[in-house]
Structure 1
């Protein structure tokens, strides 16, 4: 499995004007139709997981590159655009309440399109566990409020989700791709683009031992976790505890309590690995953090504190528009998008406007 990217964007309230959204739907459908016919469904999913291509696509549709609405409105337009088209590509989920209907929509679409039960279940699991990973295993201060899965009739998928950080007023976008899935909990990133910060990353290779100990802890009698937890609250451990807190950012303060009921369920289930642990209902960010805390201070296996962003936006081009340092990848992405625009079944005037918006996004 590859998480193909992360992008950081300022939060902008409000909705896209009705007239703009209508045009975005029309253009998104026209471009998607060309791309699926030209490159195939799998390639289309792959470019959706490319943060730069997605950003350029959003700008072509008429949205500001620097807005958090880039994600929510573009995904919404694509969802509406694909509904009447017979491309074998479908969209479930959305922003806020719509994101909580994702699993239901996957099942509804799957049954309507004749997908096998096993395929529907795998799509639902992928949707659920990817959100759990970005909300609990990767604790970077961004709480998810948008989740969309774009999937094909073959069962391939791309997931685009976004979290907000209310203190910094920024949003961060996470892209996932189903290509060559192994597991969801160890360095699933392929190319991450965003502003590097601080995080507790339990998906890092550096957190491998901390993940193992977390699983060992929950498979042991919960009384032993309570014993360790009580031990760490004693005055003799206070200096160590303060030091652990000091290396955290504000949003990663130690949890005051642990969900003991959830841990009891986990003990009864006996997860075989960290992914199974994370997938259990009731295991959230606080419990993950507490287990990492015990793993570090009692057993000497700390989690990674590095934000898994691999690439940052550089500023350049017209109007200070950001672009990735990887010029070759950028050229390939925009070439694919331009071909989609050129061959789209839209008016000449609309094509010219779309090309103009794409050129404005690109650096000189």
Structure 2
């Protein structure tokens, strides 16, 4: 098993309003169902185990792109929407935040009883991954969330999050059952996180002597200095989305595809005829979350341009667009189940066209104009934040021609 990675996130308070959580659940289920239908449930597990993909997944669902709240909110929404369809989908989401995390072993035993998997073994895996990240590796983060996701074939991943009240950050840990070797000897492919000096890491190879002298993984100092943390996914404290947070070439090519060309101009997109460019923009980013390769998710902030953020960054959540995205994806899934895969192919084509456009696309630096345009037009799409509904802008001039692309 590999520790597939971790992410350092600023602690972020607040709540997810009902109008957003209900839509997150619907869109999350539709994305998971599409991935499972197209690639299998093992791919759902693999994507969830990728910290970059997970952050992008949360951003496309309207959560604040950089905050720790993505973890609890996204997994809560998925558990609510996926588990009622677990028998059909073959995916089970266990655990949660706080007291719900302590119920994970019992939930996994129940999953075992329903599926024929060894629930006791799964429960032990759950306890051990938590023990490694909370005790064997003492980096100042105390776990408060633990989710275990498993499919009927026994593939699984763990997503758990710890809090550091001193630094005001949270750290999310991802585990993946693929290539299981050892829990206690270098189980991590790498750990993302800001270097905070020496930490206690009993899983390091040079701590083998300490492990040999320990009957259990407990709070003890290793005999040798642990290796420094190498690779980083550290999200900034600033709440707004800035040009440096996104891959401008990728974002610009997608916007050009959605707004400067009509869907009927492209073979395979006729099934999306009648949809406005703003919905095409959101669907293109959802398409990339479903079909994109791992290298496409190193700038999670870009995916917030699908449905904005609940706190208004980079812009209010466009409710009308969000609902149309959900309906389109749900319709595509329903048609595919009865053998009509035209809409699914059309949605897949969106990300393919966008990626093809990147090869020759040269973006300008009019990023601020893009944000202004999205915010000024937000009221047209039912824009909403936790602070209220978006209002028409007080215009000082005509910004209707603002363009992000050359």
Counterparts in 2 of 1:23 and 1:319: CA distance versus 1, 3 Å: same
Structure 1 position 344 matched with structure 2 position 329: yes
Structure 1 position 160 matched with structure 2 position 159: yes
Q: Which segments of 5 or more consecutive residues in structure 1 lack a partner in the other structure? A: 216-270, 272-276, 279-283, 297-301
The equivalent residue for 1:124 is: 123
What is the TM-score of this pair, normalised by structure 1? 0.66
The equivalent residue for 1:146 is: 145
CA deviations on 1:88-142 (whole Å, 9 max, x unpaired) are 000000000100111111112322x2324xx212211110000000111101000
CA deviations on 1:140-179 (whole Å, 9 max, x unpaired) are 0000000000101111101000000011110000000011
The equivalent residue for 2:187 is: 188
SS in 2 for 1:192: coil
Structure 1 position 99 matched with structure 2 position 20: no
Q: Which segments of 5 or more consecutive residues in structure 2 lack a partner in the other structure? A: 251-292, 307-324, 333-342, 352-366, 371-404
The equivalent residue for 1:249 is: none
Deviation at 1:202, TM superposition (A): 1.3
Higher RCO, Cα 8 Å, sep 6+: 1
SS in 1 for 2:330: coil
Q: Is contact 1:210–1:303 with CA below 8 Å preserved after alignment?
A: no
Kindly report which structure 2 residues correspond to 1:1-364, keeping only aligned pairs within 5 A, or say none: 1-85=1-85, 86-111=88-113, 113-116=114-117, 119-198=118-197, 199-212=199-212, 214-215=213-214, 271=215, 277-278=216-217, 284-285=218-219, 288-289=220-221, 292=222, 296=223, 302-304=224-226, 306-313=227-234, 319-320=242-243, 322=245, 329-331=294-296, 344-345=329-330
Q: How many residues align?
A: 268
Alpha-carbon distance between aligned partners in 2 of 1:346 and 1:170, rounded to the nearest angstrom: 40
Counterparts in 2 of 1:321 and 1:7: CA distance versus 1, 3 Å: farther
Deviation at 1:346, TM superposition (A): 5.9
Q: Is contact 1:201–1:308 with CA below 8 Å preserved after alignment?
A: no
The equivalent residue for 2:340 is: none
CA deviations on 1:172-224 (whole Å, 9 max, x unpaired) are 00000011211111222224333232322111122223322x23xxxxxxxxx
What is the TM-score of this pair, normalised by structure 2? 0.59
Q: Tell me the C-alpha RMSD between the 2 structures.
A: 3.5
Alpha-carbon distance between aligned partners in 2 of 1:330 and 1:342, rounded to the nearest angstrom: 28
Deviates more, 1:10-19 or 1:86-95: 10-19
